[in-house]
Chains A and B, each alone.
Chain A
Amino acid sequence: MLQNTVLIPLLPLLSAVILIATAGRLPKRLVATLGAGSVGLSAILVAQLSIAWLDNPVPYSLHLWTWMSVGDFQPGIAFYVDGLTVVMMSVITGVGFLIHLYSTEFMQDDDDYSRYFTYMNLFVGAMLILVLADNLLLLYLGWEGVGVCSYLLVGFWYKDPANGAAARKAFIVTRIGDTAMALGLFLLFTELRTLEIQQLAAAANLQWEPGGNLPILACALLLGGAVGKSAQLPLHTWLPDAMAGPTPVSALIHAATMVTAGVYLIARTHALFLMAPPVMLAVAIIGVATLLLAAFTALNQTDIKRILAYSTISQIGYMFLALGVGAFSAGIFHLMTHAFFKALLFLAAGAVIHCLHHEHNIFRMGGLRTRLPVVFWSFLIGSAALAALPFTSGWYSKDEILLATWTMPWAGPWLWAGGILGAILTALYSFRLVFIVFWGEAKTEPDRQPEWRMAGPLALLCLLSVVGGFIAQPLDQVFPAHQPEHATGAVAWITMGIAILGVIVAYLIYLSKQWSVEAGLNSPGMSRLREFWYSGWGMDRFYDSLFVSPYKTLARIMRNEPIDQLYNGIVQLSLWLHGWLSDQQSGQLRRYAASMVVGLILLVAVLAGAR
């Protein structure tokens, strides 16, 4: 078992190395076998591990080698496996394998088939290292590794400069968060003399006062990293643009796994966060603010992938809310169910795009219910789970989060109300999408049907989206035994049923059209507001004018090296002196005589003065 743990991240990495070394010379069939097969093997190993885990849930460490050793700074290349790791690895390899399998068909016609699977395998390897790491430095390696893979995959179709811009934006915006996180690591090491996660928790308990300045600062810096990676306010702007990548990439990286890394980080270092109550509150508030902002934005998008992207931001907001109120298990539970249904939705959206000549605009779709039945059912089930309709997987997890939120002291009901409003909006925008795309008249005819390699993963993810709520998570030993109480009574009933309200509203507006909102929506005030929502609350424009443009201007002004002007000044001065001195050598006797006289007088004056 122990040795096999190493194989789990190693297999995808090895496959990537082989794909790099063969540099696209392998036939597509072999590339597909390697790319998807290696992740499949890892998934089997994880399954084995999980089964063994059920019998004997004892965390274990695996020290491979000491990464670097300078004085007492000795981070290792070392793994730590506990219940949280098992859950994360199951999601990464399980959902990861399905998406790889789906990709083998989705990317069939692409010339850079091999490059695609190289990046995908590298990503899975890095993501597994991220969740396996026993210290924050190795976690940071995985963290940056997935960041680069995300950059590469968003910009996969590199010939279009717009994709490159989206990829750079994704990398640089998350890098801002990562830098905060790196500072957090410096602070943690400087104060606690270790980066090993379990030891950090112990050392912090010994050395730090709960609520003191140091834990608050350290956790705030870590939160910076989490906010960047998980696309939460204020660093969420990169994720909608990241949809430029191939759709399976969006499913794997920008929905199921990488973007939830921030949630994982906070859950993993929860012992530190519990010592910083103000930061916990900030996490919850960021969660609610993000989930509302993103939900309003999703409601106004027309691009099918951007709707899903904003919905991802919004759902991760729920996870942050869970973490912020201390319901860590609920947060990880929602992370898992979200991975199932959001991967399903993205893959289904990918199938729509794939079968509809790369059409992204939902208003040019329609009537696909009968034309793409497999995709329709997938989308319906995925949306039901996203909207958290009763008895879907999303319902169980979101319910837990909202019920736990209510009982949080003083801020609880407010946060809960935000979450409930978000839940209505979620149901509204997801069924708006379903009704517009799959009902009504057909505007674009599909030219093909998904084959088994795409349909199979969809079916399995449908199953998981429905029953995923029953998968028991072995998290009891990971998080503090004392989790928040659940609300009961009327609050519980509202929480459970609120999504249905959203679906009914969506039905009335978009399907039966009994509620006409056209007039209201097109009134001047409302359309300006919608414009504002559509643009993601103007955040991009705000950052552009505040940071991007000034930086570009600064670079343009400085590009010719202001400091060099100083040295050029010296050059100019010597040239001028040279000119002046050579002018003195004019060959005119009168001038020589005159200067001799002036010189003599000056000399005499100086000598007389010295006396």
Chain B
Amino acid sequence: MELANLIVIFLFGGLLAWLAEMMMENSARWVSLLTIALCSAYLWRLVGHIPAELFHINPVANQAGTWLMHHQMNWIPRFGVSFELAMDGLSLLLIVLTLFLGVVAVVSSWAEVDHHRGFFQANLLWTLAGVIGVFLALDLFLFFLFWEVMLVPMYLLIAIWGHEGKAHAAMKFFIFTQVSGLLMLLAIIVLVVLSAETLGRYSFSYFDLLQNDLSGGVATMVMLGFFVAFTVKLPGVPFHTWLPDAHTQAPTAGSVLLAGILLKTGAYGLLRFTVPLFPEAALQFAPIAMGLGAAGVVYGAVLAFGQSDFKRLVAYSSVSHMGFVLLGIFAWNHLAIQGAVMQMVAHGLSTAALFMIAGALQQRLHTRDLGAMGGLWHNMPRMGALALFFIVASLGLPGMGNFVAEFLILVGLFQSMPWMAVVAALGLITGAIYSLRLMQEAFQGKPDAHRTLPDFGPLEMTVMIAMVIGLLWLGLYPQPVLDLAQPVINSLTAEVQL
């Protein structure tokens, strides 16, 4: 069970970090870094052993042998529950993103977290464990389990180490995810029970459930169960309202993980489960889903413009950017899905960086209020220049990953629903409006003459520059990422035609 080890490393790493901090001050964060490094090295070795040609074969969704890796072990045979993990290009890509942003999260918590450091790092690593589990699990019972594993430590991160309104925000986050998770659980059970009639046995395995012959109203209801759960996570309008609160109140590392990775589990779920499991229902529903996506693009941008809290503004920008993902997935053609995948990665990097900057500002100024900022470029030119970079990246400047993503989504969308693309393209304008406002309010304008603030230090600069390089690479030579996802998308679109 090599794939399981990826998760186990994080579960134990978290425990270890907690224990280490009790024995030695400030050791937990090093344990975290080492854990991520260990997991990365392990993943490297695993991927090294995969035959190169497998990366070019379109995995057949229900033939385990064509995936990069696949493991299955009995767990609760009576109900057809098994411990089934599998990896294809898409999950590999998202796991690499998770590991990278894991490092970013640890670094951004480096000086910020000042109490219960060990337990903090433990929760951070357990969140990562849950996320990787979500990206790997192909048994729906197991998937649901990881979905919950991801939730609890994240709740604690917000509730314990958050800012002034943490209790409310953490509760809201928990209830939204929990209620929508319940819908998904119901949908899973209905799906399994109904498929058992044709299969002749209970099975929670993705491969078996793909053969379901649900149709009509039942299929739509079950599909909606999945859709709502994933769209809450994404988040899509109108299920997004937990996000601004959670982001604003979470500690920096929490925001980085939330925006960078947790939101992507929603997109991943839509792509992996909602559409392939219920192609017909999804086809009928696609115009509504795309409408929600386009609404999200514009709605998020308008609300972002209205905010006066740095983190809240960035949170709404996420709502807008994730609207593009929803559009890309439900446009369901190569270009659009590639764009959606690219958007997951690029948005992960650019937004994580912006949250890190927001965290650094809060630490230095003790406020997130844009009205209290201004002229910060003068005080911290390095941070200003980096903020500028990530802001223009997130408004979709060509040459950076976000542009590749949004362009592919829109050009793909234009082929299936031109008018939807026209509405979504408004996001390019409204995106510029709120992004440049953020730059102006925080870093430009008249500097406060009495303020002396420390600029980014070497550790933060290293992480930041890594993200700069990442975004430029995605923007100028995105082919490796596209190639990794291409076979998966080929097989998804070949089997499911919307």
Residues of A within 8 A of B (CB): 20, 23-24, 65-71, 73, 77, 137, 140-141, 144-145, 148, 151-152, 155, 158-161, 164-165, 167-168, 171-172, 175-176, 178-179, 182-183, 185-187, 189-190, 551, 554-556, 558-559, 561, 563-564, 566-567
- Taking a contact as CB atoms closer than 8 A, the residue among B241, B422, B428 that contacts A561 in the complex is B241
B408 near A68 with CB under 8 A, answer yes
Question: Within 8 Å CB of A69, what residues of B?
Answer: 479, 482
Closest Cβ–Cβ distance, residue A376 to chain B (whole Å): 37
CB nearest neighbor in A for B440: A164
Known: A66-B479, A141-B398, A187-B414. A161 touches B302 (CB 8 A): no
A434 → chain B closest CB, angstroms = 36
16 new A-B contacts, CB < 8 A, other than A179-B428, A555-B302, are A23-B382, A69-B479, A137-B398, A140-B398, A141-B399, A144-B397, A145-B399, A161-B446, A168-B433, A175-B429, A179-B426, A183-B421, A551-B433, A555-B305, A561-B241, A564-B241
- What are 11 A-B interface contacts by the 8 Å CB criterion? A20-B385, A68-B479, A68-B482, A70-B334, A137-B407, A159-B375, A175-B428, A182-B410, A182-B428, A190-B418, A551-B302
Looking at chain A's contact residues, is the secondary structure mostly helix, strand, loop, or mixed?
Answer: helix
Within 8 A of A (CB), among B390-445: 392, 397-399, 403-404, 407-408, 410-411, 414-415, 418, 421-422, 425-426, 428-429, 432-433, 436-437, 440, 443-445
A77 touches B237 (CB 8 A): no
A-B contact count (CB 8 A): 131
Assuming A148-B397, A168-B440, is B447 touching A159 (CB within 8 A)?
Answer: yes
Partner among B244, B403, B414, B428 whose Cβ is within 8 Å of the Cβ of A190 = B414
Task: Say which residue of A23, A148, A161, A566 sits within 8 Å of B440 (CB atoms).
Answer: A161
- The 3 tightest CB contacts between A and B, nearest first, are A559-B306, A555-B306, A141-B398
Partner of B335, one of A24, A70, A160, A563: A70
Contact across chains for B303 and A561 when beta carbons are under 8 A apart: yes
Interface centre among A66, A161, A566 (most CB of B within 10 A): A161
B108 beta carbon closer than 8 Å to chain A:
no
From B306, B307, B437, B447, contact of A168 by CB (8 A)? B437
Residues of B bordering A, CB below 8 Å: 237-238, 240-241, 244, 302-303, 305-307, 334-335, 338, 375, 377-378, 381-382, 385, 388, 392, 397-399, 403-404, 407-408, 410-411, 414-415, 418, 421-422, 425-426, 428-429, 432-433, 436-437, 440, 443-447, 476-479, 482, 486
Give Cα A168 to B398, complex, Å.
18
Q: Are B444 and A158 in contact (CB under 8 A)?
A: yes
Roughly how many angstroms separate A190 CA and B397 CA in the complex, as a whole number? 22
Give complex CA distance A187, B302 in Å: 27
Contact in complex: A73, B479 (CB < 8 Å):
no
Contacts of A183 in B (CB 8 A): 414, 421-422, 425
Q: Which residues of A contact B397 (CB under 8 A)?
A: 144-145, 148
In the assembled complex, the CB of A184 is this many whole angstroms from the nearest CB of chain B, namely: 11
With both chains docked as a complex, state the minimum distance between the C-beta of A60 and any C-beta of chain B, in angstroms: 23
Q: Are A155 and B428 in contact (CB under 8 A)?
A: no
* Among A24, A73, A77, A155, contact of B444 (Cβ-Cβ < 8 Å): A155
> Which of A77, A137, A190 has a CB less than 8 Å from the CB of B415?
A190
Q: Is the CB–CB distance between B302 and A554 below 8 Å?
A: yes
Give bound CA distance, A503 to B302, whole Å.
Answer: 51
Inter-chain contact A67/B428, CB cutoff 8 Å: no
Among A24, A71, A151, A186, contact of B410 (Cβ-Cβ < 8 Å): A186
For residue A308, give the distance in angstroms from its CB to the closest CB of chain B. Answer: 26
Q: Which residues of A contact B307 (CB under 8 A)?
A: 559
Contacts of B410 in A (CB 8 A): 182, 186
User: Which of A66, A73, A558 is in CB contact (< 8 Å) with B411?
Assistant: A73
Bound together, the chains give a CA A516 to CA B278 distance in angstroms of 82
Known: A71-B335, A183-B421, A186-B414. A171 touches B436 (CB 8 A): yes
Partner of A65, one of B338, B388, B403, B477: B477
Contact (Cβ within 8 A) A172 B429? yes
CB within 8 Å for A558 and B433 given contacts A164-B440, A164-B444: no
Q: Is the CB of A176 within 8 A of B302?
A: no
Partner of B334, one of A65, A71, A555, A567: A71
Cβ contact within 8 Å between B429 and A182: no
With both beta carbons as reference points, the residue of chain A lying nearest to B416 in the complex is identified as A190
Bound-state CA distance A352–B497 (Å) is 67
- Cβ-closest chain A residue relative to B382: A23
Residues of B contacting A158 with CB < 8 Å? Answer: 375, 377, 443-445
Q: How far is the CA of A144 from the CA of B428 in the complex (A)?
A: 12
